[in-house]
Amino acid sequence: MNHLDKPLFVYGTMLDRDVAEIVLGRVLDPARVCRAWLDGYRVVRIRDDTYPMLIEAPGEHVAGAVIHDLDRTALDRVRFFESYEYDFVECTVRIPDHGYRRAARFGAAHEPPQQPEPWSLEWWRATHKDRFLRYVRDFMAFYGCGTLDEAEARWLELEREDERRARQRTQSASAN
């Protein structure tokens, strides 16, 4: 059985419908999405960034969702989006009224932070969503017609532009 035979467990920014639909390249069918929990983990911020990663945390759980019946293109698009920061892994999730099921998910491809900061979807939506959507749109525009390195370079370029604008605003405010 390969990853295509399992539902995809999502957490973090992929729980946001706008992000998920840009990444998947299609409107999400609510009948294919259901709540799920991943036991033994918690969500924290990746160091010096705004998006999440899972770390092992016995006795805790991560609220997420499973998306059923994704076609190869949708999974390839998710793989393209997540591949710089995450690896594809199998997991067992808890689904209401269905018990435990095998699923696929993406796990961080790097070491967890020494002092992890909590991450929440509500915090991210309030502070970073608008900018993140712009980054995701530009990044996913490279799917199928560019390379992952080109997409990542564009993401980093957008981050630098935003940092430059923020510095200019700070300098203007302190000059007044």
Specify the pLDDT at position 4.
Answer: 58
Residue type, 28: L
Render pLDDT for 92-133 as a digit per residue (tens, 0 to 9). 999 998 899 999 998 876 677 777 889 999 999 999 999 999
Structural domain count, the chain: 1
In 3-state terms, the chain is what percent helix, strand and coil (to 5)? 45, 30, 25
174 φ/ψ angles, rounded to the nearest 5 degrees? -75, -25
Tell me how far apart the alpha carbons of residues 161 and 164 are, in angstroms, rounded to a whole number.
5
Specify the pLDDT at position 126.
Answer: 96
25: CATH:
3.10.490.10
Specify the pLDDT at position 91.
Answer: 94
Tell me how far apart the alpha carbons of residues 172 and 176 are, in angstroms, rounded to a whole number.
6
User: Would you place residue 53 in the very low, low, confident or very high pLDDT band (cuts 50, 70, 90)?
Assistant: confident
Considering the entire predicted model, what is its pTM?
A: 0.88
Domain that includes residue 159, residue range: 3-175
Half-sphere exposure of residue 156: CA atoms within 13 angstroms, side-chain side: 7
Residue type, 38: L
Question: What mean pLDDT is predicted for residues 16-26?
Answer: 97
Specify the pLDDT at position 114.
Answer: 74
